Amino acid sequence: MSAKFLFTERFAFSKGDSVVVVGLGRFGSSVAQSLMHLGHDVMGIDQDAEPVHRWADLLTHAVQADSTNLMVLRQLGVADFSHAIVGIGTDLAASLMTIMTLTELGIQDIWVKALTEEHGQIAQRIGAHHVVYPEADMGERVAHLISGRMVDFIEFEDGFAIAKIHAPHVTHNQTLAESSIREAHGVTVVGVKRANQDFQHATPSTRIIPGDLLIVSGATHLIQKFAGRSNGRL
């Protein structure tokens, strides 16, 4: 699973929804491009000319503008967008003022990139509906991967996660019904990837063999515990 889509997958947008992304730095531009690939109309806004020029041919619209100016955003038609993502980097004041401006325009779904917990708390108090912490999230993800327990890992806001793991020995040479993974470990096997074979959706009759990769979902702490069985740690 590409890291490029790590945060985009959190955004529960219907295909074709219009999205305005404010701040075309590393985070904002990556999310904007990913949303374009997923079929959304995306307007990118940045106060600097360089990123706007860089992304002008890759997004539906790319505009150099002051996102804290209510009149400017109104003239750009931002009020007509379904979703807004504020990806402004280290300028806390600009980030918060942009959220306030988007709120005044009546945007019903505002996401904000926050660098600190305090930033995120203030953002929600003044109108942000969702907060993401990309640095912290990526750090936790890398820690899981380095530990050797997981091949890939995504955690969502409510403590729910999806992970790709090596099939633990407790599942080997059994069907999913026989190993009773959900009952015994509290996680659900969504699919199985076997070497040199196509991905297959899991059913109770799916048999797991050593070397299989499992796609599992469930509470983060339960997945961590279950994944630990793949290298004999538990």
Rounded CA gap, 162 and 103, in Å? 32
Element at 21 (helix H, strand E): strand 18-22
Residue 37: per-residue pLDDT: 82
How many domains would you assign to the chain? Answer: 2
Same domain, yes or no, for 9 and 47? yes
pLDDT for res 165? 86
How much of the chain is helix, strand and coil, in % rounded to 5? Answer: 40, 25, 35
If asked whether residues 113 and 222 sit together in one domain, one would say no
Q: Helix 117-125 to helix 92-104 angle, to the nearest 10 degrees?
A: 20
**What pLDDT, on a 0 to 100 scale, did the predictor assign at position 100?**
97
Q: Are 13 and 121 in a shared domain?
A: yes
Query: In terms of domains, do 10 and 121 share one?
Result: yes
Q: Find the CATH number of the domain harbouring 212.
A: 3.30.70.1450
Question: pLDDT per position in the chain (234 positions), as tens?
Answer: 333 334 444 555 555 589 999 999 988 998 898 889 878 899 999 999 999 999 999 999 999 999 999 999 999 999 999 899 999 978 999 999 999 999 999 999 999 988 888 999 999 999 999 888 776 555 455 545 444 456 676 767 667 878 888 888 889 999 999 999 999 999 999 999 998 888 899 999 999 999 999 999 988 888 878 877 654 443
Residues 76 and 183 in one domain: no
Q: Looking at 132, 162, 184, which one is the last position of a domain? A: 132
User: Can you list the alpha helix ranges (DSSP code H) found in the chain?
Assistant: 26-37, 49-55, 70-75, 92-104, 117-125, 134-146, 176-179, 181-185, 220-228
Q: Do 155 and 119 share a domain, yes or no?
A: no
The per-residue pLDDT for 147 is 47
Which residue segment(s) compose the domain that 198 sits in? 137-231
Q: Which helix (H) or strand (E) holds 219?
A: strand 213-219
pLDDT value of residue 226:
84
Q: Which of 82, 112, 132 is the last residue of a domain?
A: 132
Instruction: Let me know the angle formed at the C-alpha of 139 by 136 and 144, rounded to the nearest 5 degrees.
Output: 130
Task: Assess whether 142 and 127 both reside in one domain.
Answer: no
Q: How far apart are CA 219 and CA 186, in angstroms?
A: 8
Q: In this structure, are residues 13 and 82 in contact, taking their beta carbons and an 8 Å threshold?
A: yes
Q: What is the pLDDT of residue 15?
A: 55
**Residues 215, 126 within the same domain:** no
Contact 106, 100 (CB under 8 A): no
CATH of the domain at 48: 3.40.50.720
In a shared domain, residues 104 and 191: no
Residues 35 and 147 reside in one and the same domain: no
**Model pLDDT, residue 150:** 61
Among candidate residues 86, 26, 32, 88, the one with its CA nearest the CA of residue 57: 32
Q: Which of 132, 166, 185 is the last residue of a domain?
A: 132
- Both 96 and 172 in one domain: the answer is no
The answer to whether 42 and 21 have CB atoms below 8 angstroms apart is: yes
Residues 100, 9 share a domain: yes
Alpha helices by DSSP H, 14-116:
26-37, 49-55, 70-75, 92-104
Which of 44, 48, 17, 40 has its CA nearest to residue 28? 44
Which stretch of DSSP H or E encloses residue 158? none
